[in-house]
Amino acid sequence: MGRSDHRPGSQLPVTPTTLADVAERAGVSRQTVSNAVNNPDLLRPDTLERVRQTIAELGYSPNRAARNLRTRTSSLIGLRFTPAQEGTANAMMDRFVHSLVEASAEAGYHVLLFPSDDEDPVGGYDNLLRSTAVDAFVVTDTYLGNPQAAWLSQQRAPFVAFGRPWDDDEARHVWVDVDGAAGMRLATQHLIDRGHTRIAWIGWRKDSPIGEDRRSGWLSTMHANGLSTTGLASRVEDVVHSGAEAAAVLLDESEPTAFLCASDTLAMGVLHTLWIRQLAPGRDIAVVGFDDSQVAQVYPVGLTSVRQPLEDVAVEIVRSLRALLSHQPVESRGVLLEPTLAIRESS
Amino acid sequence: MGRSDHRPGSQLPVTPTTLADVAERAGVSRQTVSNAVNNPDLLRPDTLERVRQTIAELGYSPNRAARNLRTRTSSLIGLRFTPAQEGTANAMMDRFVHSLVEASAEAGYHVLLFPSDDEDPVGGYDNLLRSTAVDAFVVTDTYLGNPQAAWLSQQRAPFVAFGRPWDDDEARHVWVDVDGAAGMRLATQHLIDRGHTRIAWIGWRKDSPIGEDRRSGWLSTMHANGLSTTGLASRVEDVVHSGAEAAAVLLDESEPTAFLCASDTLAMGVLHTLWIRQLAPGRDIAVVGFDDSQVAQVYPVGLTSVRQPLEDVAVEIVRSLRALLSHQPVESRGVLLEPTLAIRESS
DNA sequence: GACGATCATTGGATCGATCAAGGGGGAGGC
DNA sequence: GCCTCCCCCTTGATCGATCCAATGATCGTC
C-alpha cells in the first residue's frame, strides 16, 4: 500500500469530508481538529491520536479554497511557461520545471503554469497577483529589457528570479543563477589538459550579457595559461547554420584544434562542418557545447557539454522563496551556482 | 499599453480590493457587482457601465480563494509532470505542456503541476482530489499497467487521458490520442514515393502496444504496395546504441535502402551506424524517426520525422474537459488525431 | 482547600465571494 | 384606482477553514 492511505476499492464521497465532520466524529471542536493538523503540539497526546485516527478513517483533507481564503495564501507558485524554441537545442526548461516541481512539493507548494503573452508580458502576472491566486512567482527570462522583474519589484510582489539582473544595477530582488563563466573555465581547462592550445570560441552577439559572460570564462582561462586568442573568436546568431559557417571560417583562417561553443545549438553547427570536411569530432577536432541538452546526449558522437545544476537551482529558489514569504531576512540577494562538465566522446 | 490595464507606475494596494469596496464606491450592492462580473445580462446597461468603470478604476479582480470556496471549483487542471528521460530524444512533454497551458487559458483554466512518485503513483492525485484543489486531471502516461486512469475512473474524478487505454477494454473514460499507425503509413508512403522498396523497421519490444501500433502502419503500407517485409524488421530497447546495432545487422543481412524508426532516439542510432560506415543519410540511405524532437531538428543532416499535433491534442483535451465539467454529454469517448510528416534531408 | 498560573479546548466571528429569496418600482391590464 | 407581473437590485445565509478571545480543566503552592 502506498504512503498515503487512499483505500483502493473505495470511492470518494460525493461531498468531501469537512473539518466539522471530523470534529463531530472525534467528539472535539472544529478548532481542535484544525490544531491537530496545523499545530499538533497544542494537543494532549491522547487527543491528538484520537483525532488523527478519525482523520485517517474519514480520509479527511483540508479544503484548499477555505484554507486559502482564511489564511490569505494559496501554496501556489506561479511560473510563466515558455517552451523551447523550435530549431534550437535549448531545452533546459523541461528539466528545470521538473526540478522546481519537486523542490516546491517538498516545501508544500505546487507550481501553477500560465501562458506567455508577448504583447502584454506582465498581464498574466497582474491577473494572478490581483486575484491572490499565487503566493509568489518564479521568473525565468531575465534577458535584456524584460520588464517582469522590475514590474514585480515595483508591485512589491514576492518573486525569485532564475537569472541575474544583468542590465539593471538598481535591482534589489532575490535571484539564483548559474555561473556560465565558471562553466567555460572548466571546459577550457579540460581542453587545455587534453593538450589543445588553439581553442576557438563561437558565441552569441555582443549584446547578450549571458554570452559575453560565458565568453569571458574562455578568454580568462586561455590567457591564464599563456595562450593566444587572436583570430580565434566568432560571434553569431544562435542557430545551427551560423555555427557551421563560423566553424568553417575559423578552420580556414586560424586552424584551431578545438571549438568551445556558447550553446549546444552552435556546437551542432560545428559538428556539421566537421562532418562535411570528413573530420572526426574528438579525434581530429574537439567540440564542447553548453546546456547538456538531449541533443548532446543522443548525438552519435556524444557531445561534451557544460551542464547547469538545475536541480540545485530549483532547491535554492525554493529556499529563497520560503524565506521571502516568511519575511525572514534573506541572507543574500543573489546565489551563483557552479555548473559541471559532462564529458563525452567529442573532446 | 497592454491588454489589461495594470497601470504602470502604481503599486498594488496592500490589501487587495474586494467586491464590497467596488459595491460601495459604485453605489450598488455586492451581488450586483458579482453579477456585473459573472452575469452582465442581468444588469441594466447604464448600471453595468458604472460598475465596470469602478472595477477598472480600483483594479478589482475577484479573490480566487473566495470564489473557489463558494462555487466548489478551482479553475485548475492537475497535470503530473514527468520530465523527459535523460539519454533519449523523447521531449514532447515540453511542447505538450505549453500547448495545454495555452488551450487551458483560453477556457479560463490554469495548469497545476505536481510531482510524480513512483512508489505511490496515485498519491498525488488523491491529495489534490481530496482537498478539492483541482477541477480535473490530464493523465499522460497510459502505458501498460498504469493504474492512474482506472483509479481516477473509480473515484469518479473528472479527467481526460492523452493516450488510448491500450490494455483495458473496460475503460470508459475520455481520451485523446495521436494515430501512430497513420503517421507511419504517411512515412512509409513517403519513402515508397521516393523510390524505396526495401524499407526496414526498427521498433520497440513486442510488449509495447504503442510500438506495435506504429509498426502496423509500416507493415500495412508495405503490403498494400506489394512490398516484402521479411527480414526487414527489428525490435529493440529504446536507446541509441540498440538502434545502431539493429541498423548494422539489418544492413549486413537485408540490404535495406531506408530505415523507419519508432522513435528519434532509435533513428539517432541508425545515423550513427551510417556515419561509421561512411554512408550519407538521405543520399545513400534514407532515415525517418518519430516525434520531431529537437534532435531531429538540429541534427546536422535534418532528420525526417513524424510530428504529433500536440497543439491540437491539447485543444481537444480542453474541449473534452469542459464538456465533462459542465456535465454535457460527451460526443465520443475517444478522439484520434492525425500526425504530420516533417520532411528533412535524411529522406 | 482556596488561589493564580498554565494547559487544553471551545464557540463565535471572519475571510470574500456566490446562492437563494425577497423587495421596490414602473408598465400594463382590468 | 388597483392589482399583477416583470425587471432590477438588495439582503441574509453560506461555503469550510482559521483567528481570536474566552472558558474549563489541571497543576503546584501556600
Indicate yes or no: CB of B83 within 8 angstroms of CB of A64. no
What pLDDT is attached to residue A143?
Answer: 73
Q: How far apart are CA A210 and CA B170, in angstroms?
A: 54
Indicate yes or no: CB of A123 within 8 angstroms of CB of B3. yes
Indicate yes or no: CB of A294 within 8 angstroms of CB of B91. yes
Smallest Cα–Cα separation from B126: which of B147, B104, B102? B147
Indicate yes or no: CB of A154 within 8 angstroms of CB of B240. no
Please state, in angstroms and as integers, the Cα–Cα distance from residue A151 to each residue in B8, B10, B184, B315, following that order: 8, 10, 49, 32
Of residues B89 and A107, the one with the higher pLDDT is A107
- Which ranges of chain B does DSSP label H, i.e. alpha helix? 19-26, 30-38, 45-58, 64-71, 92-106, 123-130, 148-154, 180-193, 209-224, 240-254, 264-276, 294-298, 310-325
Chain A neighbors of B293, CB-CB under 8 A: 294
What pLDDT is attached to residue B168?
Answer: 78
Measured distance between the N- and C-terminal CA atoms of chain A, rounded to whole angstroms: 48
Smallest Cα–Cα separation from B261: which of B188, B200, B202, B186? B202
Of A87-91, A322-326, B222-226, where does the model show the most confidence? B222-226
A325 exposure class (CB count in 10 Å sphere: 0-12, 13-18, 19+) = middle
Mutation target among A64, A74, A276 for the B interface, most CBs of B within 10 A: A64
- Which residue has 510488449 as its cell numbers? B207
Residue type for A78, please? G
Average pLDDT over residues A247-276: 95
What ranges do the domains of chain B cover? 19-62, 76-178+310-337, 180-307
**Contact between the CB of A37 and strand D at under 7 Å:** yes
**Contact between the CB of A29 and strand D at under 7 Å:** no
**Contact between the CB of A32 and strand D at under 7 Å:** no
Mutation target among B113, B126, B152, B242 for the A interface, most CBs of A within 10 A: B113
Q: Is the pLDDT of residue A6 over 60?
A: no
Smallest Cα–Cα separation from B276: which of A83, A216, A275? A275
> Quick check: B133 contacting A, CB < 8 Å?
yes
Smallest Cα–Cα separation from B234: which of B224, B248, B223? B248
Report helix, strand or coil for A166.
coil
What pLDDT is attached to residue A233?
Answer: 96
Indicate yes or no: CB of B123 within 8 angstroms of CB of A155. no
Indicate yes or no: CB of B126 within 8 angstroms of CB of A89. no
Residue type for A241, please? H
Q: Which residue in A88, A98, A295 is closest to B81 by CB distance?
A: A98
What pLDDT is attached to residue A12?
Answer: 63
Indicate yes or no: CB of B269 within 8 angstroms of CB of A93. no
Handedness of CA A37, A43, A45, A46 (dihedral sign): negative
Indicate yes or no: CB of A299 within 8 angstroms of CB of B268. yes
pLDDT in tens, A17-62: 999 999 999 999 999 999 999 999 999 999 999 999 999 999 999 9
What pLDDT is attached to residue A289?
Answer: 96
β-strands B174-178, B340-342: how paired? unpaired
Q: Which residue in A95, A101, A120 is closest to B114 by CB distance?
A: A101
Q: How far apart are CA B317 and CA B311, in angstroms?
A: 10
Rounded to whole angstroms, the distance from the CA of residue A31 to the C1' of nucleotide C13 is 13
Which nucleotide, over all strands, has the C1' atom closest to the CA of B64? C17
Chain A neighbors of B2, CB-CB under 8 A: 119-123
Task: Kindly report which listed range (A80-94, A171-185, A258-272, B3-17) carries the lowest average pLDDT score.
Answer: B3-17
Residue type for A260, please? L
CA of A89 vs chain B CAs: smallest distance (Å): 6
User: Which phi and psi angles does A236 have, rounded to 5°?
Assistant: -140, 180
Rounded to whole angstroms, the distance from the CA of residue A143 to the C1' of nucleotide D5 is 64
What secondary structure, in 3-state letters, does B191-224 show?
Answer: HHHCCCCCEEEEECCCCCHHHHHHHHHHHHHHHH
Element (H, E) at A36: helix A30-38
Q: How far apart are CA A245 and CA A236, in angstroms?
A: 9
Describe the strand order of the beta sheet including A334-337 as a list of residue ranges: A334-337, A174-178, A159-162, A136-139, A76-80, A110-114, B110-114, B76-80, B136-139, B159-162, B174-178, B334-337
Q: Give me A16's grid cell.
A: 468531501
Of residues A303 and B1, the one with the higher pLDDT is A303
Let me know: does B347 contact B286? Beta carbons within 8 Å.
yes
Indicate yes or no: CB of A65 within 8 angstroms of CB of B69. yes
Q: How far apart are CA B108 and CA B112, in angstroms?
A: 13
CATH tag, A180-307: 3.40.50.2300
Chain A neighbors of B263, CB-CB under 8 A: none
Rounded to whole angstroms, the distance from the CA of residue B145 to the C1' of nucleotide C10 is 49
Paired with B285 in beta bridges are: B281
Nucleotides of C strand lying within 7 Å of any protein CB atom: 7-12, 14-21
For all residues of chain A together, what is the average pLDDT?
Answer: 91
Q: How far apart are CA A244 and CA A246, in angstroms?
A: 6
Q: How far apart are CA B232 and CA A40, in angstroms?
A: 66
Q: Is the pLDDT of residue A147 over 60?
A: yes
- Which residue has 578552420 as its cell numbers? A251
- CA angle A106-A108-A109, nearest 5°? 105
pLDDT in tens, A236-261: 999 999 999 999 999 999 999 999 99
pLDDT in tens, A325-344: 988 776 678 999 999 999 99
Chain A neighbors of B81, CB-CB under 8 A: 97-98, 101, 111
Could you please report the per-residue DSSP string of B258-302?
Answer: EEEESSHHHHHHHHHHHHHTTPPBTTTBEEEEES--HHHHHSSS-
β-strands A159-162, A136-139: how paired? parallel
What pLDDT is attached to residue A124?
Answer: 93
Q: How far apart are CA B173 and CA B155, in angstroms?
A: 12
Strand extents, DSSP E, chain A: 76-80, 110-114, 136-139, 159-162, 174-178, 199-203, 233-235, 258-261, 286-290, 304-307, 334-337, 340-342
Share of chain A above pLDDT 70, in %: 95
Judge if A76-178+310-337 and A180-307 fold alike in CATH terms. yes
Rounded to whole angstroms, the distance from the CA of residue A45 to the C1' of nucleotide D28 is 22
Q: pLDDT category, A11, cuts 50, 70, 90?
A: low
What pLDDT is attached to residue B7?
Answer: 47
> Quick check: A81 contacting B, CB < 8 Å?
yes
What pLDDT is attached to residue B2?
Answer: 39
Let me know: does A176 contact A316? Beta carbons within 8 Å.
yes
β-strands B233-235, B258-261: how paired? unpaired
Report helix, strand or coil for B177.
strand
Average pLDDT over residues A300-311: 94
Let me know: does A97 contact A111? Beta carbons within 8 Å.
yes
Rounded to whole angstroms, the distance from the CA of residue B42 to the C1' of nucleotide C27 is 19
Q: How far apart are CA B282 and CA A267, in angstroms?
A: 22
β-strands B340-342, B334-337: how paired? unpaired
- Which residue has 485548475 as its cell numbers? B76
Measure CA A77 to chain center.
14
> Quick check: B68 contacting A, CB < 8 Å?
yes
Low-confidence stretches of chain B (pLDDT < 50) are 1-9
| DSSP code for B42 | G
> Quick check: B271 contacting A, CB < 8 Å?
yes
Q: How far apart are CA B146 and CA B137, in angstroms?
A: 15
CATH topology of domain A19-62: 434 Repressor (Amino-terminal Domain) (1.10.260)
CATH topology of domain B76-178+310-337: Rossmann fold (3.40.50)
Handedness of CA A298, A301, A302, A303 (dihedral sign): negative
Q: pLDDT category, A16, cuts 50, 70, 90?
A: confident
Q: How many CB atoms lie within 10 A of CB B87?
A: 13
Report helix, strand or coil for A48.
helix
Smallest Cα–Cα separation from A316: which of A160, A92, A159? A160
Q: How many CB atoms lie within 10 A of CB A327?
A: 8
Name the residue of chain A whose CA is nearest to B90's CA. A294
Q: Give me B131's grid cell.
A: 482537498
Mutation target among A130, A245, A270, A271 for the B interface, most CBs of B within 10 A: A130
User: Which phi and psi angles does A77 have, rounded to 5°?
Assistant: -115, 125
